[in-house]
Chains A and B, each alone.
Chain A
Amino acid sequence: MSSIPVDPHSGSRMTDNTENHPGAREPLVLNMDRFSQVTQQVCQVAEARRTPMAWYICFALSLGCLGVLGFCVLYLILTGVGVWGLNNPVMWAFDITNFVFWVGIGHAGTLISAILFLFRQKWRTGINRFAEAMTIFAVICAGLFPGIHVGRVWVVYWLFPLPNQMEMWPQFRSPLLWDVFAVGTYFTVSLLFWFTGMVPDLATLRDRAKGKIQQIAYGAFSLGWRGSNRHWHRYERAYLLLAALSTPLVLSVHSVVSFDFATSQLPGWHTTIFPPYFVAGAIFSGFAMVVTLAVPAREMFGLKNLITIRHLDNMNKIILVTGCMVGYAYSMEFFIAWYSGALYEKFAFLNRAFGQYWWAYFLMVGCNVITPQLFWFKAIRTSIPIMFVLSLLVNVGMWFERFVIIVSSLANDFLPSSWDVFVPTWVDIGTLLGSFGLFMVLFLLFCRFIPMIAIAEIKAIMPQADPHFDEHGSDDHEAQEETKGEVTS
């Protein structure tokens, strides 16, 4: 327990852990060999008396955007959905684009927290906490849009099977209703998973808290956790169960979202490829958002030893993979449109690429298909400024993907006499901007007051956490290999 992991080549403090040496495992926690160092590094963010100036600037900007959202939504409710640029036939535009975009963002968080957990990807521990937070805040943003686009917001409870004076029930054969259940379940389960993972870390903050308010707040939310191994035993089993439940759930959520389109008769929507294509796109955009958030967060709060360059490198590889899937789906849609021989289907796709929304289509292809291909190069995958810019481009591209699918299909349907062009109004743009404000306000509050990194999970993947560590000395690779196959249940 003495040696600080040093770069074997330079002998200095280690910053690059992206090398792959056969038989050796690169550390995921850099320059720390004591558990208390991890505790200290993560807790100091929540415990700091002074908040970084950059946080205040970001928070003020986000709060301003949130104000814009509040104003736009209030104006919408008081006036009606006519304040958006919707027309007949384009009755869904920015509202549903934003909904699908935000739900998609959330998917990366669940992929990291649940699917990578089932695959025993230990690097997930560095990023899972704030990726899950991102999921929850993104689903909050997503949930806003179906709520306000119904027009008469005051009867939004009709979405739920509640007894009412009309003796009417929701229509359970409609994918729109499945969506209510899918997104509602997704939000609830993500919140439970996030909170369950956080309880031991809140207990850490409770035990370190100096002020009365902190002691009461962290004490209440840590539920009296005392690290008992009899508790850990059930806790780990529950965590595994929640991961196993979240995995099919996350795949179902975006599949159900895609059913909103796929079960309709509209050319460009009526496609069987939609469920897997939407899920791949969701993970693609979500990982881009994780990179967008992780890069500034690790700089601002000094967490580079825990969110290492290897974590970012791995995420960029996933962006590359899912970007290829998305590119494949785009080309396969075109192939099927041609191969089907269906007149309207062929027209819908040619119109999508070369019609009035051609610019949005090529923006989408440029950002989603070409941009991630740059991640084949390691120099780009490990360059902080480049990956930040590319992740922003992917976010833009994925927003436009939903816009292209929804608006270009609706604007030019079967009858040329009913075609129209959608032009967003200032309320449309203000609501989109405002949803980013809502997201960032929640995210910044999270960064400031809640342990951003799963402290207990990080400690458990350190080589020092292995009970045989002392026997093997600092050469822990054998010990790790030994226990790798066993599942802590």
Chain B
Amino acid sequence: MSTVTANKTTPTDKNDRRKLYGLIAEFETPGQVVKAAEQVRDAGFKWWDCCTPFPVHGLDKAMGIRPTILPIAVFFAGLTGTIAAFVLQSFTNASDFSVWALVWVTGYPFMISGKPFLSVPAFIPVMFELTILFAALGTFSMMFGFNGLPRLHHPLFRSKRFRRVTDDRFFVVIEARDPRFFQSRTQAFLETLEPISIEAVED
């Protein structure tokens, strides 16, 4: 631990002081960030995070992150696909209803080699494929959606130091909106974690 630097990005107008986003502490190894995370968790912070170049083993536990509901949501996305495929096939190939789906569409009972109109075994491959398709689209969109991504900007990107988060540096971020956050006290707390630097980031 050596330097305590204020954020270099000064606002254009000196009177218009920006709000503080939070404090970031920089670490050099995954082991250090895991130890630091355990202490931040035990100190009772709520609005805080660790940013790392790759998923660090054991960090979820050290931060006390609860398991995501993503798999359950994906299950229902897949189920939607199964049902959609069955409805699509039985409507188009085995019914003669007319329904309004943006335009009026009518089913057409196909008689193919004397097989039953509602030939479920033959519908299985498409049901399977659409299950996978819906589940995969659901996984992708919900994972990024739950993460609040995509977004064009984030206060952390103001910090030049933080750019190394995608290279080889590990950060602990404590946000100013945390009820336990008090700049000087939190900074002193972060110093006890022995980071290589601490920086205040403006919102």
Interface residues of chain A, those whose CB is within 8 Å of chain B, are 1, 34-36, 39, 161, 163, 167-173, 175, 177-178, 181-182, 184-185, 188-189, 192-193, 195-196, 200, 203-204, 206-208, 219, 223-238, 241-242, 245-246, 248-249, 252, 256, 259, 456-457, 459-460, 464-471, 483, 486, 488-489
Contacts and interface: CB of A to CB of B under 8 A. Distances in A.
Contacts of B152: 219, 224
Interface string B132-176: 110111011011101101111110110000111111100000000
Nearest to B78: A245
B70 A237 contact: yes
B52 interface: yes
Contacts of B147: 228, 230-231, 234-235
A188 B63 contact: no
Contacts of B67: 237, 489
Q: Which of B29, B55, B67, B125 has the most CB of A within 10 A?
A: B55
Interface stretch (B13-21, B103-111, B188-196): B103-111
B135 A241 contact: yes
Contacts of A196: 140, 143
B56 interface: yes
A227 B166 contact: yes
A238 B129 contact: no
| Interface SS of chain A | helix
Interface in B36-60: 37, 49-60
Given A241-B139, A466-B30, A203 B54 contact: no
Contacts of B37: 229
11 contacts: A34-B168, A161-B88, A167-B108, A181-B129, A185-B130, A189-B132, A226-B157, A241-B74, A259-B125, A460-B54, A464-B29
A207 B163 contact: yes
Contacts of B130: 181, 185
A4 to B, nearest CB: 16
A208 B122 CA distance: 52
Contacts of B70: 234, 237-238, 241
B100 to A, nearest CB: 11
B68 A36 contact: no
Nearest to A177: B126
A466 B122 CA distance: 49
Contact of A178 (B52, B129, B135, B162): B129
Given A161-B92, A178-B125, A229-B59, A171 B112 contact: yes
A35 B108 CA distance: 61
Contacts of B101: 163
Given A172-B93, A241-B74, A229 B150 contact: no
Given A36-B168, A168-B108, A238 B65 contact: no
A267 B21 CA distance: 72
B58 A467 contact: yes
| Interface SS of chain B | helix
A256 B115 CA distance: 20
Contacts of A459: 53-54
B128 to A, nearest CB: 6
Contacts of B168: 34-36, 39
Contacts of B63: 229-230
A470 B27 CA distance: 14
Nearest to A190: B136
A471 B122 contact: no
B89 interface: yes
B166 A181 contact: no
B34 interface: yes
Contacts of A236: 55
B114 to A, nearest CB: 12
Contacts of A185: 129-130, 132-133, 136
A230 B123 CA distance: 40
A161 B85 CA distance: 11
B108 A169 contact: yes
A35 to B, nearest CB: 4
Contacts of B115: 173
Interface string B78-107: 000000000011001100000001010111
A470 to B, nearest CB: 5
Given A228-B51, A236-B55, A467-B56, 17 more contacts: A163-B105, A167-B108, A171-B93, A172-B123, A173-B110, A173-B119, A173-B122, A181-B130, A207-B165, A207-B166, A224-B154, A227-B52, A241-B74, A242-B136, A467-B30, A467-B34, A467-B58
Contacts of B103: 163
Contacts of B153: 224
Contact of A465 (B56, B65, B119, B129): B56
Contacts of B129: 178, 181-182, 184-185, 249, 252
A170 B88 CA distance: 11
Given A161-B88, A228-B49, A192 B126 contact: no
Contacts of A195: 140
A189 B58 CA distance: 29
B102 to A, nearest CB: 8
Nearest to B121: A173
B52 A181 contact: no
